[in-house]
Amino acid sequence: MHIMEGFLPPAHALGWAAVSVPFLAWGLRSMGSSLQAHPERRMLLGVAAAFAFLLSALKLPSVTGSCSHPTGVGLGALLFGPAAMVPVGFVVLLFQALLLAHGGLTTLGANVFSMAIVGPFVSYGVFRGAAALGLSRSVAVFLAACLGDLATYVTTSAQLALAFPDAVGGVETSFFKFAGIFALTQVPIAISEGLLTVLVVNAMARFNAHELRALPVMAQQTREGA
Amino acid sequence: MKKSSWLLWAAIVLLSVLPLCLISAPPGAEGLFGGSDDRARQAIGSIAPHYQPWFAPVFEPASGEIASLLFALEAAVGAGVIGYWLGLSVARERAHKGAHEVKPSAQDQRAD
Protein backbone atom coordinates (compact mmCIF):
# COMPACT_ATOMS: atom_id res chain seq x y z
CA MET A 1 0.00 0.00 0.00
CA HIS A 2 2.98 2.27 0.50
CA ILE A 3 3.22 5.04 -2.04
CA MET A 4 6.75 4.78 -3.37
CA GLU A 5 9.54 7.24 -2.71
CA GLY A 6 9.27 10.32 -4.92
CA PHE A 7 5.92 9.28 -6.38
CA LEU A 8 3.91 12.12 -4.88
CA PRO A 9 4.48 15.65 -6.21
CA PRO A 10 6.17 17.86 -3.57
CA ALA A 11 3.00 19.86 -2.79
CA HIS A 12 1.04 16.65 -2.08
CA ALA A 13 3.88 15.15 -0.05
CA LEU A 14 4.07 18.28 2.13
CA GLY A 15 0.31 18.52 2.46
CA TRP A 16 -0.12 14.96 3.73
CA ALA A 17 2.82 15.40 6.09
CA ALA A 18 1.21 18.56 7.49
CA VAL A 19 -2.04 16.66 8.08
CA SER A 20 -0.28 13.73 9.76
CA VAL A 21 2.03 15.58 12.16
CA PRO A 22 -0.69 16.78 14.60
CA PHE A 23 -2.10 13.23 14.77
CA LEU A 24 1.37 11.90 15.53
CA ALA A 25 1.81 14.43 18.35
CA TRP A 26 -1.63 13.59 19.73
CA GLY A 27 -0.88 9.87 19.52
CA LEU A 28 2.44 10.20 21.35
CA ARG A 29 0.81 12.20 24.13
CA SER A 30 -2.14 9.85 24.52
CA MET A 31 0.17 6.81 24.54
CA GLY A 32 2.47 8.41 27.11
CA SER A 33 -0.30 9.38 29.50
CA SER A 34 -2.02 6.01 29.13
CA LEU A 35 1.18 4.13 30.00
CA GLN A 36 1.95 6.45 32.90
CA ALA A 37 -1.47 5.90 34.42
CA HIS A 38 -1.54 2.16 33.67
CA PRO A 39 1.99 0.71 33.44
CA GLU A 40 0.48 -2.79 33.34
CA ARG A 41 -0.72 -2.05 29.83
CA ARG A 42 2.83 -2.09 28.49
CA MET A 43 2.65 -5.79 27.71
CA LEU A 44 -0.52 -5.59 25.63
CA LEU A 45 0.68 -2.44 23.86
CA GLY A 46 3.88 -4.32 23.01
CA VAL A 47 1.81 -7.17 21.59
CA ALA A 48 -0.29 -4.75 19.53
CA ALA A 49 2.85 -3.08 18.13
CA ALA A 50 4.44 -6.47 17.44
CA PHE A 51 1.28 -7.53 15.60
CA ALA A 52 1.59 -4.48 13.32
CA PHE A 53 5.29 -5.24 12.71
CA LEU A 54 4.60 -8.87 11.90
CA LEU A 55 1.59 -8.34 9.65
CA SER A 56 3.04 -5.47 7.64
CA ALA A 57 6.05 -7.65 6.80
CA LEU A 58 3.90 -10.43 5.34
CA LYS A 59 3.17 -9.98 1.66
CA LEU A 60 0.28 -12.28 0.85
CA PRO A 61 -0.93 -13.41 -2.57
CA SER A 62 -4.38 -12.26 -3.61
CA VAL A 63 -7.05 -13.08 -6.17
CA THR A 64 -5.91 -10.28 -8.49
CA GLY A 65 -2.63 -12.09 -9.08
CA SER A 66 -0.56 -9.61 -7.15
CA CYS A 67 0.67 -9.44 -3.57
CA SER A 68 -0.01 -6.98 -0.79
CA HIS A 69 0.31 -6.93 2.96
CA PRO A 70 -2.08 -6.44 5.88
CA THR A 71 -1.47 -3.53 8.24
CA GLY A 72 -2.10 -4.96 11.70
CA VAL A 73 -2.98 -1.60 13.24
CA GLY A 74 -6.66 -2.43 13.86
CA LEU A 75 -5.89 -4.58 16.91
CA GLY A 76 -4.14 -1.78 18.79
CA ALA A 77 -6.85 0.72 17.86
CA LEU A 78 -9.47 -1.53 19.48
CA LEU A 79 -7.40 -1.92 22.64
CA PHE A 80 -5.92 1.52 23.19
CA GLY A 81 -7.90 3.84 20.96
CA PRO A 82 -6.96 4.95 17.44
CA ALA A 83 -4.53 7.72 18.46
CA ALA A 84 -2.18 5.25 20.16
CA MET A 85 -1.59 3.44 16.88
CA VAL A 86 -0.37 6.54 15.00
CA PRO A 87 3.15 6.37 16.53
CA VAL A 88 3.24 2.58 16.08
CA GLY A 89 2.30 2.82 12.40
CA PHE A 90 4.80 5.65 12.00
CA VAL A 91 7.66 3.49 13.32
CA VAL A 92 6.70 0.58 11.03
CA LEU A 93 6.55 2.88 8.00
CA LEU A 94 9.80 4.64 8.89
CA PHE A 95 11.58 1.30 9.26
CA GLN A 96 10.33 0.12 5.89
CA ALA A 97 11.11 3.44 4.19
CA LEU A 98 14.66 3.66 5.55
CA LEU A 99 15.83 0.06 5.33
CA LEU A 100 13.62 -1.63 2.76
CA ALA A 101 13.04 1.09 0.15
CA HIS A 102 9.38 0.21 0.69
CA GLY A 103 7.39 3.42 0.80
CA GLY A 104 9.59 6.46 1.28
CA LEU A 105 10.54 9.51 3.30
CA THR A 106 8.84 11.97 0.93
CA THR A 107 5.66 9.85 0.94
CA LEU A 108 5.84 9.08 4.67
CA GLY A 109 3.20 11.70 5.52
CA ALA A 110 0.72 10.26 3.03
CA ASN A 111 1.43 6.66 4.09
CA VAL A 112 1.12 7.54 7.78
CA PHE A 113 -2.22 9.16 6.98
CA SER A 114 -3.60 6.06 5.25
CA MET A 115 -2.13 3.30 7.41
CA ALA A 116 -1.65 4.87 10.83
CA ILE A 117 -4.54 7.36 10.90
CA VAL A 118 -7.41 6.33 8.60
CA GLY A 119 -7.00 2.58 9.29
CA PRO A 120 -7.07 2.78 13.12
CA PHE A 121 -9.82 5.42 13.18
CA VAL A 122 -12.06 3.41 10.84
CA SER A 123 -11.41 0.25 12.89
CA TYR A 124 -12.29 2.11 16.08
CA GLY A 125 -15.46 3.60 14.58
CA VAL A 126 -16.63 0.27 13.13
CA PHE A 127 -16.01 -1.44 16.46
CA ARG A 128 -18.01 1.16 18.37
CA GLY A 129 -20.81 0.90 15.80
CA ALA A 130 -20.87 -2.89 15.87
CA ALA A 131 -20.87 -2.86 19.67
CA ALA A 132 -23.76 -0.40 19.69
CA LEU A 133 -25.69 -2.74 17.39
CA GLY A 134 -25.18 -5.50 19.93
CA LEU A 135 -23.01 -7.73 17.73
CA SER A 136 -20.84 -10.28 19.52
CA ARG A 137 -17.26 -9.37 20.33
CA SER A 138 -15.77 -11.63 17.68
CA VAL A 139 -17.96 -10.24 14.90
CA ALA A 140 -17.25 -6.67 16.00
CA VAL A 141 -13.49 -7.29 16.09
CA PHE A 142 -13.55 -9.00 12.70
CA LEU A 143 -15.49 -6.20 11.01
CA ALA A 144 -13.33 -3.52 12.63
CA ALA A 145 -9.97 -5.01 11.64
CA CYS A 146 -11.13 -6.03 8.16
CA LEU A 147 -12.74 -2.71 7.22
CA GLY A 148 -9.91 -0.69 8.77
CA ASP A 149 -7.42 -2.56 6.60
CA LEU A 150 -9.54 -2.00 3.51
CA ALA A 151 -10.00 1.69 4.32
CA THR A 152 -6.22 2.15 4.35
CA TYR A 153 -5.97 0.91 0.78
CA VAL A 154 -8.96 2.92 -0.42
CA THR A 155 -7.23 5.98 1.05
CA THR A 156 -4.00 5.17 -0.77
CA SER A 157 -5.99 4.91 -4.02
CA ALA A 158 -7.60 8.30 -3.36
CA GLN A 159 -4.24 9.90 -2.57
CA LEU A 160 -2.77 8.64 -5.84
CA ALA A 161 -5.88 9.67 -7.76
CA LEU A 162 -5.61 13.21 -6.38
CA ALA A 163 -1.95 13.37 -7.40
CA PHE A 164 -2.48 11.74 -10.80
CA PRO A 165 -5.92 12.60 -12.19
CA ASP A 166 -6.77 10.86 -15.45
CA ALA A 167 -6.33 13.08 -18.53
CA VAL A 168 -9.88 12.31 -19.66
CA GLY A 169 -11.95 11.22 -16.68
CA GLY A 170 -10.19 13.22 -13.97
CA VAL A 171 -9.74 12.18 -10.36
CA GLU A 172 -12.70 9.80 -10.38
CA THR A 173 -11.49 7.63 -13.27
CA SER A 174 -8.05 7.61 -11.75
CA PHE A 175 -9.43 6.59 -8.37
CA PHE A 176 -11.18 3.56 -9.83
CA LYS A 177 -7.99 2.61 -11.64
CA PHE A 178 -5.92 2.68 -8.43
CA ALA A 179 -8.69 1.14 -6.32
CA GLY A 180 -8.81 -1.71 -8.85
CA ILE A 181 -5.16 -2.34 -8.04
CA PHE A 182 -5.03 -1.70 -4.29
CA ALA A 183 -8.51 -2.14 -2.80
CA LEU A 184 -9.48 -5.18 -4.87
CA THR A 185 -6.21 -6.98 -4.11
CA GLN A 186 -6.75 -6.18 -0.47
CA VAL A 187 -10.18 -7.81 -0.05
CA PRO A 188 -9.05 -11.37 0.83
CA ILE A 189 -6.05 -10.01 2.73
CA ALA A 190 -8.30 -7.76 4.81
CA ILE A 191 -10.48 -10.76 5.61
CA SER A 192 -7.38 -12.67 6.75
CA GLU A 193 -6.36 -9.73 8.94
CA GLY A 194 -9.85 -9.64 10.46
CA LEU A 195 -9.71 -13.36 11.30
CA LEU A 196 -6.18 -13.11 12.74
CA THR A 197 -7.21 -10.17 14.91
CA VAL A 198 -10.14 -12.20 16.26
CA LEU A 199 -7.70 -15.00 17.19
CA VAL A 200 -5.42 -12.59 19.05
CA VAL A 201 -8.31 -10.86 20.87
CA ASN A 202 -9.70 -14.28 21.88
CA ALA A 203 -6.29 -15.18 23.30
CA MET A 204 -6.18 -11.88 25.19
CA ALA A 205 -9.68 -12.47 26.53
CA ARG A 206 -8.47 -15.78 27.92
CA PHE A 207 -5.08 -14.74 29.29
CA ASN A 208 -5.53 -11.05 30.02
CA ALA A 209 -9.23 -10.84 30.88
CA HIS A 210 -8.49 -8.51 33.77
CA GLU A 211 -6.48 -5.98 31.72
CA LEU A 212 -8.94 -6.21 28.82
CA ARG A 213 -11.85 -5.27 31.03
CA ALA A 214 -9.94 -2.20 32.21
CA LEU A 215 -9.37 -0.90 28.67
CA PRO A 216 -11.82 1.88 27.86
CA VAL A 217 -12.64 0.72 24.33
CA MET A 218 -13.07 -2.94 25.18
CA ALA A 219 -14.84 -2.35 28.48
CA GLN A 220 -18.21 -1.80 26.91
CA GLN A 221 -17.84 -5.00 24.92
CA THR A 222 -16.87 -7.46 27.63
CA ARG A 223 -19.83 -9.63 26.78
CA GLU A 224 -18.30 -12.93 25.76
CA GLY A 225 -18.91 -13.64 22.11
CA ALA A 226 -17.15 -16.84 21.25
CA MET B 1 -7.02 -24.67 21.07
CA LYS B 2 -10.75 -24.46 20.60
CA LYS B 3 -12.40 -25.86 17.49
CA SER B 4 -13.41 -22.38 16.33
CA SER B 5 -9.77 -21.28 16.50
CA TRP B 6 -8.73 -24.15 14.23
CA LEU B 7 -11.45 -23.15 11.79
CA LEU B 8 -10.21 -19.55 11.77
CA TRP B 9 -6.64 -20.69 11.09
CA ALA B 10 -7.86 -22.96 8.29
CA ALA B 11 -9.75 -20.06 6.70
CA ILE B 12 -6.66 -17.81 6.86
CA VAL B 13 -4.46 -20.47 5.23
CA LEU B 14 -7.08 -21.14 2.53
CA LEU B 15 -7.45 -17.42 1.77
CA SER B 16 -3.70 -17.21 1.17
CA VAL B 17 -3.21 -20.48 -0.70
CA LEU B 18 -6.28 -20.52 -2.93
CA PRO B 19 -5.21 -17.49 -5.03
CA LEU B 20 -1.94 -19.30 -5.78
CA CYS B 21 -3.82 -22.34 -7.09
CA LEU B 22 -6.69 -20.59 -8.85
CA ILE B 23 -4.94 -17.80 -10.71
CA SER B 24 -2.87 -18.71 -13.72
CA ALA B 25 -0.86 -16.28 -15.78
CA PRO B 26 -2.78 -14.74 -18.68
CA PRO B 27 -0.91 -15.41 -21.94
CA GLY B 28 1.77 -12.85 -22.64
CA ALA B 29 1.69 -11.30 -19.16
CA GLU B 30 4.89 -11.34 -17.18
CA GLY B 31 5.31 -11.73 -13.46
CA LEU B 32 2.34 -13.07 -11.54
CA PHE B 33 2.14 -12.20 -7.83
CA GLY B 34 4.40 -9.19 -7.97
CA GLY B 35 3.74 -6.39 -5.51
CA SER B 36 0.61 -4.29 -6.03
CA ASP B 37 2.95 -1.31 -5.58
CA ASP B 38 4.56 -2.20 -8.90
CA ARG B 39 1.16 -2.31 -10.59
CA ALA B 40 0.46 1.16 -9.18
CA ARG B 41 3.78 2.34 -10.60
CA GLN B 42 2.70 1.08 -14.03
CA ALA B 43 -0.69 2.77 -13.67
CA ILE B 44 1.01 6.07 -12.82
CA GLY B 45 3.18 5.57 -15.89
CA SER B 46 0.11 5.20 -18.10
CA ILE B 47 -1.75 8.18 -16.57
CA ALA B 48 1.21 10.55 -16.36
CA PRO B 49 3.89 9.21 -18.71
CA HIS B 50 6.15 12.21 -18.12
CA TYR B 51 6.17 12.05 -14.33
CA GLN B 52 9.65 11.65 -12.91
CA PRO B 53 10.08 10.61 -9.26
CA TRP B 54 11.86 13.54 -7.65
CA PHE B 55 13.44 11.68 -4.76
CA ALA B 56 15.24 8.34 -4.58
CA PRO B 57 15.27 5.96 -1.60
CA VAL B 58 18.15 6.80 0.74
CA PHE B 59 19.07 3.14 1.07
CA GLU B 60 18.06 0.27 -1.12
CA PRO B 61 18.58 -3.39 -0.21
CA ALA B 62 21.39 -4.69 -2.44
CA SER B 63 19.24 -7.53 -3.80
CA GLY B 64 15.92 -9.31 -3.45
CA GLU B 65 17.62 -11.68 -1.00
CA ILE B 66 18.73 -8.84 1.27
CA ALA B 67 15.23 -7.32 1.10
CA SER B 68 13.63 -10.61 2.12
CA LEU B 69 16.19 -10.91 4.93
CA LEU B 70 15.08 -7.54 6.31
CA PHE B 71 11.40 -8.37 5.92
CA ALA B 72 12.00 -11.68 7.70
CA LEU B 73 13.78 -9.83 10.51
CA GLU B 74 10.83 -7.46 10.87
CA ALA B 75 8.42 -10.38 11.05
CA ALA B 76 10.69 -12.24 13.47
CA VAL B 77 10.77 -9.29 15.88
CA GLY B 78 6.97 -9.11 15.82
CA ALA B 79 6.46 -12.86 16.14
CA GLY B 80 9.08 -13.03 18.91
CA VAL B 81 7.27 -10.50 21.07
CA ILE B 82 3.91 -12.22 20.49
CA GLY B 83 5.47 -15.61 21.28
CA TYR B 84 6.97 -14.23 24.51
CA TRP B 85 3.54 -12.95 25.58
CA LEU B 86 1.77 -16.22 24.69
CA GLY B 87 4.40 -18.34 26.47
CA LEU B 88 4.29 -16.16 29.55
CA SER B 89 0.48 -16.23 29.57
CA VAL B 90 0.25 -20.02 29.26
CA ALA B 91 2.86 -20.50 31.98
CA ARG B 92 1.03 -18.04 34.24
CA GLU B 93 -2.28 -19.84 33.69
CA ARG B 94 -0.68 -23.20 34.47
CA ALA B 95 0.96 -21.84 37.61
CA HIS B 96 -2.42 -20.56 38.78
CA LYS B 97 -4.07 -23.91 38.14
CA GLY B 98 -1.14 -25.75 39.76
CA ALA B 99 -1.36 -23.61 42.89
CA HIS B 100 -5.04 -24.47 43.26
CA GLU B 101 -4.41 -28.18 42.81
CA VAL B 102 -1.37 -28.43 45.10
CA LYS B 103 -3.00 -26.83 48.13
CA PRO B 104 -5.55 -29.53 48.98
CA SER B 105 -3.04 -32.36 48.45
CA ALA B 106 -0.57 -30.65 50.81
CA GLN B 107 -3.26 -30.46 53.44
CA ASP B 108 -4.06 -34.14 52.91
CA GLN B 109 -0.46 -35.07 53.69
CA ARG B 110 -0.49 -33.04 56.85
CA ALA B 111 -3.67 -34.79 57.93
CA ASP B 112 -1.93 -38.12 57.52
Residue B27 reports pLDDT greater than 60: no
- The predicted pLDDT at position A210 comes to 86
Contact state of B12 with A101 under an 8 Å Cβ cutoff: no
- The predicted pLDDT at position B112 comes to 54
- The predicted pLDDT at position B56 comes to 87
Residue B29 reports pLDDT greater than 60: no
User: In terms of pTM, does the model score above 0.95?
Assistant: no
Number of A/B CB contacts below 8 angstroms equals 170
Judge whether B26 lies within some domain: no
The domain made up of A10-219 is a member of CATH 1.20.1080.10: no
Judge whether B44 lies within some domain: yes
Judge whether B6 lies within some domain: no
- The predicted pLDDT at position B78 comes to 96
Q: Quick check: A206 and B94 in contact, CB under 8 A?
A: no
Residue B31 reports pLDDT greater than 60: yes
Residues 6+ apart with CB under 8 A from A125: none
- The predicted pLDDT at position A54 comes to 95
- The predicted pLDDT at position B25 comes to 63
User: How many residues in chain A?
Assistant: 226
- The predicted pLDDT at position B111 comes to 52
Mean pLDDT to the nearest integer, B80-109: 81
Spans of chain A, pLDDT less than 70 = 1, 219-226
Judge whether B10 lies within some domain: no
Mean pLDDT to the nearest integer, B80-96: 94
pLDDT tier, B102 (very low <50, low <70, confident <90, very high otherwise): low
pLDDT tier, B38 (very low <50, low <70, confident <90, very high otherwise): confident
**Higher-scoring residue by pLDDT: B97, A199:** A199
Q: Where are the domains of chain A?
A: 10-219
Judge whether B69 lies within some domain: yes
Contact state of A46 with B79 under an 8 Å Cβ cutoff: no
Contact state of A54 with B75 under an 8 Å Cβ cutoff: yes
Q: Which domain holds residue B89?
A: 34-111
- The predicted pLDDT at position A225 comes to 42
- The predicted pLDDT at position A222 comes to 46
Residues 6+ apart with CB under 8 A from B47: A164, A165, A166, A167, A174, A177
Residue B13 reports pLDDT greater than 70: yes
**Higher-scoring residue by pLDDT: B47, A224:** B47
> What is the rounded distance in angstroms from the CA atom of residue A65 to the CA atom of residue A56?
19
CA distance B103 to chain A (A): 22
- Tell me what the pLDDT averaged over chain B comes to: 84
Closest-CA residue of A relative to B87 is: A207
Question: Could you tell me what percent of chain B has a pLDDT over 90?
Answer: 38
- The predicted pLDDT at position A224 comes to 45
Mean pLDDT to the nearest integer, B44-57: 90
Judge whether B12 lies within some domain: no
Contact state of A63 with B19 under an 8 Å Cβ cutoff: yes
Q: Please tell me the number of Cα atoms within 13 Å of B40 on its side-chain side.
A: 32
User: What is the interface pTM, i.e. ipTM, of the complex?
Assistant: 0.89
**Pairing relation of β-strands B34-35 and A66-68?**
parallel
> What is the rounded distance in angstroms from the CA atom of residue B87 to the CA atom of residue A51?
16
Contact state of B67 with A100 under an 8 Å Cβ cutoff: yes
Q: Which of B14, B17, B23, B47 to mutate to test the interface with A (most CBs of A within 10 A)?
A: B47
Judge whether B14 lies within some domain: no
User: Considering its fold, how many domains does chain B have in total?
Assistant: 1
